[in-house]
Amino acid sequence: MRQLKLIWDFRGPDALKTAEHHEIHLKDYIKTEQLQTDITGFQSISNIHAIAYMVVPENIMKPIRDTLKPHRGQLYQE
């Protein structure tokens, strides 16, 4: 089954700290909803752009997308 990487973009001088904090909320959501996924993270793209992400199986993506409203998504490749 394909996996999708849901991505939240953060911009500005505090982007990395914001993305790091957002990952905490993603992990809380996974625990609360008892999802069978555990791939989350954050990454610095530049000094003013960072992302937080969560990887989910394609078959459960739509309700998660509708609830959490990521900015974009892409196929996840390990």
Q: Read off the pLDDT of residues 5-56 as tens digits, 9 standing for 90 and up.
A: 999 999 999 999 999 999 999 999 999 999 988 999 999 999 999 999 999 9
Longest CA span, the chain: 38
Q: Cα dist. 40→13, 20, 29, 37, 51 in Å?
A: 22, 10, 11, 9, 11
pTM: 0.94
Q: What pLDDT was estimated at residue 75?
A: 97
Q: What pLDDT was estimated at residue 21?
A: 98
User: Does residue 1 have a pLDDT over 90?
Assistant: no
Q: What pLDDT was estimated at residue 78?
A: 80
Q: What angle do CA 34, 39, 40 make, to 5 degrees?
A: 100
